[in-house]
């Protein structure tokens, strides 16, 4: 089975020489446009949002981006990429070896990641284990565990959800569908276990397990630090100097933040209990980080005022 190539640069609408800032800016713009909570056509937006997230997952990571760029020489081969034949197991629509059958192939649906991502950038793997002796005295071999990535939005991590994930095994026309419970407060890298849904055992051995490893979807407004969320807000110099009332986004709507006079660039303000659920169930906080945005262009009148302020500051300093 050929793994179809994904042009992540095209997905984000940037050139192959785009800087990190250009890639980040393109992602945020598209992610805001297609976020399922704000888009009108939610079904189309949800799929687009996943594609944007997958592209940003790769292009925002220097190591993954270098690996992706090295694949460029095969971009135009008919039929897409041949599936990798790595040992140890790689689920997600490609083959990996285990036991005497020479390998087993899985196709996933509903995880939010494409087969291309799983093949080259996912963390999937298999693991064989011996499970005792069969009835005929031959050693029973436990089937390999299978692991794939599942994209979970911050909203799902906040409230919990149930997702439908499909799995089709090699040689089978039947697609198996599972209702996967995404627990409230799930963390990056946490594994969700579906017991007995991995590779079948041999000679009477038990089947392995299926593990879905959580990858938190990137959000256009927030970054994640444990159970805390961080939001950067741009403020004008006069807002930093005089103070102001800001309306900032949260995962549950908007909130007011009082910006005190004399706010410094990089200063953090905490909104208690507006983050993600922690291990204890108690929610973390939302930190709003002030970034002072200096105007690049000034009118003549604005320049006069700034020059007056500079002169005033200079007189005060010399006193």
Query: In this structure, is residue 158 part of a structural domain?
Result: yes
pLDDT, residue 40, reads 75
Residues 122 and 60 in one domain: yes
Q: What is this structure's pTM?
A: 0.79
251-294 tens-digit pLDDT: 999 999 999 999 999 999 999 999 999 888 899 999 999 999 99
Residues 128 and 161 in one domain: yes
Interval 64-75 mean pLDDT: 81
Query: In this structure, is residue 84 part of a structural domain?
Result: yes
Residue 319's pLDDT band (boundaries 50, 70, 90)? very low
Query: In this structure, is residue 275 part of a structural domain?
Result: yes
Query: In this structure, is residue 42 part of a structural domain?
Result: yes
Residues 45 and 116 in one domain: yes
pLDDT at 227 exceeding the cut of 80 = yes
Residues 38 and 180 in one domain: yes
- From 216, 245, 261, the end of a domain falls on 216
Query: In this structure, is residue 180 part of a structural domain?
Result: yes
pLDDT at 87 exceeding the cut of 60 = no
As a whole number of angstroms, the distance between CA 32 and CA 221 comes to 8
**Number of compact structural domains in the chain:** 2
Residues 75 and 183 in one domain: yes
Residues 107 and 252 in one domain: no
Q: Is pLDDT larger for residue 279 or for residue 105?
A: 279
Residues 211/234, Cβ–Cβ less than 8 Å: no
pLDDT at 54 exceeding the cut of 70 = yes
Residues 67 and 168 in one domain: yes
If you write DSSP's letter for every residue of 251-309 in order, what string do you get?
TTEEEEEEEPTTPPTT-EEEETT-S-B-TTS-B--EEEEEEE---S---HHHHHHHHHH
Residue 75's pLDDT band (boundaries 50, 70, 90)? low
Query: In this structure, is residue 1 part of a structural domain?
Result: no
Among 27, 46, 25, CA closest to 35: 46
Structure tokens of 23?
Answer: 């890639």
Residues 206 and 230 in one domain: no
Residues 65 and 174 in one domain: yes
pLDDT at 72 exceeding the cut of 80 = no
Residues 176 and 256 in one domain: no
Residues 184/159, Cβ–Cβ less than 8 Å: yes
- From 216, 233, 265, the end of a domain falls on 216
Residue 42's pLDDT band (boundaries 50, 70, 90)? confident
Domain span at residue 308 reads: 223-318
Residues 260 and 128 in one domain: no
CATH number at residue 262: 2.60.260.20
**Burial of residue 222, with CB atoms counted within 10 A of its CB: 0-12 exposed, 13-18 middle, 19 or more buried:** buried
Residue 18's pLDDT band (boundaries 50, 70, 90)? very high
Strand order in the sheet with 286-292: 223-225, 228-235, 286-292, 268-271
Residue 92's pLDDT band (boundaries 50, 70, 90)? very low
Q: Is pLDDT larger for residue 2 or for residue 111?
A: 111
pLDDT, residue 213, reads 92
Q: Is pLDDT larger for residue 94 or for residue 7?
A: 7
- From 194, 216, 238, the end of a domain falls on 216
Write down the H helix ranges in the chain. Answer: 8-12, 20-34, 42-59, 62-70, 115-120, 154-159, 237-242, 300-318
User: For residue 13, is it left (φ>0), alpha (ψ between -120 and 50) or beta?
Assistant: left
Among 229, 236, 241, CA closest to 285: 229
């Amino acid at each position: 089975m050929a793994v179809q190539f994904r042009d992540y640069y095209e997905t984000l609408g940037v050139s192959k020489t785009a800087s990190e800032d250009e890639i980040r800016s393109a992602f945020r713009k598209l992610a805001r446009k297609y976020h399922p909570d704000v888009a009108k056509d939610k079904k189309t937006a949800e799929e687009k949002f996943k594609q944007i997230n997958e592209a940003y997952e790769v292009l925002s990571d220097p190591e993954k981006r270098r690996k992706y760029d090295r694949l460029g020489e095969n971009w135009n081969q008919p039929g897409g990429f041949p599936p990798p034949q790595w040992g140890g197991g790689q689920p997600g629509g490609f083959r990996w070896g285990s036991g005497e059958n020479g390998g087993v192939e899985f196709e996933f649906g509903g995880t939010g990641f494409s087969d291309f991502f799983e093949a080259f950038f996912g963390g999937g793997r298999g693991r064989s284990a011996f499970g005792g002796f069969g009835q005929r005295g031959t050693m029973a071999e436990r089937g390999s565990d299978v692991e794939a990535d599942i994209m979970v939005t911050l909203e799902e991590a906040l409230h919990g959800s149930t997702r439908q994930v499909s799995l089709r095994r090699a040689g089978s026309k039947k697609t198996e569908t599972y209702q996967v419970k995404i627990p409230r407060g799930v963390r990056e890298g946490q594994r969700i276990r579906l017991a007995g849904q991995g590779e079948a055992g041999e000679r009477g051995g038990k089947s392995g397990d299926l593990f879905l490893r959580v990858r938190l979807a990137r959000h256009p407004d927030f970054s994640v630090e444990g159970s805390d969320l961080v939001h950067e807000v741009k403020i004008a110099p006069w807002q930093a100097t005089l103070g102001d009332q800001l309306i900032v986004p949260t995962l549950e709507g908007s909130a007011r933040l009082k910006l005190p006079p004399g706010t410094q660039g990089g200063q953090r303000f905490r909104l208690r209990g507006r983050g993600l659920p922690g291990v204890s169930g108690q929610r973390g906080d939302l930190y709003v980080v002030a970034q002072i945005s200096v105007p690049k262009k000034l009118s003549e009148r604005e320049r006069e005022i700034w020059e007056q302020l500079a002169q005033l500051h200079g007189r005060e300093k010399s006193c």
